[in-house]
Structure 1
Amino acid sequence: MPWVSLDPFIFTVHHLDRYPEGNAYQGIDSERRMGRNMGSDFSYRDGWSMYHGYEVPGFPQHPHRGFETVTVMQRGYTDHSDSLGATARYGEGDTQWLTTGSGIMHAEMFPLRSTDGDNTMELFQIWLNLPPDTKMVDPYFGMLWKEDIPTVSYEDGAVQIKVVCGSLDGRTPPAPNPDSWASQPGSEVSIWVIKMKAGSTWTLPASAAGLNRMLYCYVGTDVGIGEATVQMDTAAKLVSASDVELRATDSDVEFLLLEGRPIGAPMFQLGPFVMNTPEELQQAFADYRRTAFGGWPWKTPDPVHKRTQGRFARHADGRVEQRDAVPDAH
């Protein structure tokens, strides 16, 4: 289930799927898929879902316009392909930042690379709105690799904060996409993954006034947030200009922090499109039907790279980033 999101964020979801071993196609054998609503399986039966995939779990080609997707991979892998001609395999701590702008089609598939063990996949997908003046910019595909994303440690390592966006104690990750709201001066967008060992305490520092600050607890029991004690799957709206003490009392605790200055513009969403007026939504559907946002350059709607392919990205301009020592890019 998506979590409550506040402007400038639109949508936030945490996926944790404990997939079994993969078959020869990096997918799930038909016997294990029987009885599911294939093409739209969000059942979480046996601890996993197929989503819109048929053999390999994931989300085959689909369109977006008017916002950004930020996909923060914790475990497992995602194979990305899009209508710009960009493609990638990322995971195990990487983040993909995709500005959909005037329109893009992309696929997000979850290859099950291990044939003799489980393929746990965990990610956050966050939709970040674009303001009216940049809602129709050119689409842009960006990668933040795990090696470049800082983790700040406290309490002798008992508290670790992964800074995907924003700044903490002078540690700053690579810049977001150039047309992102997060790249605008004064937007104060932060995306942090906070992990605390049982018995640890950490004070979330105050930031600027007037921001929307949400803290999502997705692991832990009897978790202290200020004066409150909460359980797992709790969303807390915090005052951005105040410090807040976080306490992991009897268990390890994990949080996602989303914070930013509200855009404050009207928002109309229908399916994969997020615009400022109903008329713009109608135009988005018309444009997609007419142009398919540039068409689909791949042979299938659900491309998956070779099992041996490591983490890499091939951008629309042909530039290649190879992060794992595996040479045979698909």
Structure 2
Amino acid sequence: MSDDVILQTVPLGLHWPTIDPFLFCAHHDDQYPSGNEQLGPDASLEGRNIGMDFEGIDGWRMYHGSVVPGFPQHPHRGFETITYVREGICDHSDSLGAIARFGEGDVQWLTAGAGIVHSEMMPLRNQSAPNPLELFQIWLNLPAADKMSNPYFTMLWSNQIPKVRHTNADGRTTEVVIIAGSFGETPPLSPPPNSWASKGAADVAVWHLHLDPGTSLQLPAAATAETVRTLYVFDGDGVQIGETHLECDTGSVLRSTDATTLHSSGGADCLVLQGRPIGEPIAQQGPFVMNDEAGLRQTFIDYQRTGFGGWPWPVDGPVHAADRQRFALHPDGRLEEPV
């Protein structure tokens, strides 16, 4: 069975390989120390390549941040970012004047569309204990018809995201966190209106799977034969599909037309990305994703001319007050907080 289901396997690192309609997936897993008064690490930064710190010294990275870890202002056009913060906090600010703080299982789904500049910073709010952070950032492409749609973001708060849990007779549990795409009879929350995931035939799914030791979980068959399904085992003891054991830090392309049973003797966590390919040409340069070189050239002209609205904040990587709870203030002034 496994020989029929598992089409390809690859090892995983910080950045995971993806297949159309996905462009990119990064798994950030940083064991940050206690924080200081500036919400940065209360530790020496000596020996780090500040501004480009991706080496993981002592189990954590500053990324492009110099005081607070994270990604100061940078532009995007032509695709979407799905940021799932499993542990820790992320602070968002953007060129539309919107700000947000989310984490502890929340998701921010941002349609860059015609262009946006934003920052994503990871404040270390706890000054007396470590500040572990784990997040996934997934880039989902937009079809040509939607690449120039208005920028927009949707918050999927942890307590509202649908979850499918099953507990067996031994009290062991499996759970599916449904970020996108129905899982069986359980539908997801709505994606942004111009997302590829909003098209019914796109069959986009983003699921976080958790299996306790000694449990099994069945992935339903995809809606179309064209759907591409990729399984990433990122934590635990791995999973078994038929006779094949997929170890931790393994990605695999699975045949999606049939239901697939995963078993884990030691427990595992996995991410599933699936979707029907958009199937259009891709021209990408860094944070800009268009369909041809002419589109990229125009993007650079537009960005140099307009700054995608300009940067309204006094610093490149704003962080919110340490005691501020999770929230989102949208460009139209709408304040949103998890219930």
TM class by shorter-chain length?
over 0.9
2-structure distance, mates of 1:130, 1:222: 32
Q: What SS does the aligned partner of 2:299 have?
A: helix
The equivalent residue for 1:190 is: 205
Q: What SS does the aligned partner of 1:287 have?
A: helix
Answer yes or no: is 1:111 the counterpart of 2:127: no
- Write out aligned runs for 1:225-240 (5 A): 225-240=241-256
Q: With the length of structure 2 as denominator, give the TM-score of the two structures.
A: 0.93
Answer yes or no: is 1:24 the counterpart of 2:37: yes
Greater Cα shift, 197-206 or 301-310: 197-206
1-structure distance, mates of 2:237, 2:159: 31
2-structure distance, mates of 1:39, 1:196: 37
- Write out aligned runs for 1:1-40 (5 A): 1-29=14-42, 31-40=43-52
Q: With the length of structure 1 as denominator, give the TM-score of the two structures.
A: 0.95
2-structure distance, mates of 1:225, 1:82: 43
2-structure distance, mates of 1:219, 1:7: 24
Q: What SS does the aligned partner of 2:105 have?
A: coil
The equivalent residue for 1:269 is: 284
- Write out aligned runs for 1:100-179 (5 A): 100-156=112-168, 158-179=173-194
Answer yes or no: is 1:253 the counterpart of 2:268: yes
- Write out aligned runs for 1:271-310 (5 A): 271-310=286-325
The equivalent residue for 1:72 is: 84
2-structure distance, mates of 1:106, 1:298: 10
Q: What SS does the aligned partner of 1:46 have?
A: helix
**Which deviations, in whole Å up to 9, do the C-alpha atoms of 1:261-282 show, x marking residues without a partner?**
1100000111110110011111
Aligned partner letter, 2:233:
C
CA drift of 1:195 comes to: 0.5
Q: What SS does the aligned partner of 1:159 have?
A: strand
The equivalent residue for 2:233 is: 217
CA contact (8 A) 2:159 2:338 kept: no
Aligned partner letter, 1:182:
A
Gaps of 5+ in 1: 325-330
CA drift of 1:174 comes to: 1.7
Aligned partner letter, 1:171:
T
Q: What SS does the aligned partner of 2:81 have?
A: strand
RMSD of the TM alignment (CA)? Answer: 1.1
Which of 76, 85, 100 pairs up with 2:97? 85
The equivalent residue for 2:9 is: none
Gaps of 5+ in 2: 1-13
**Which deviations, in whole Å up to 9, do the C-alpha atoms of 1:197-239 show, x marking residues without a partner?**
1111122121222101000000123521333112111111011
Q: What SS does the aligned partner of 2:23 have?
A: strand
Which of 64, 88, 107 pairs up with 1:52? 64
CA contact (8 A) 1:86 1:141 kept: no
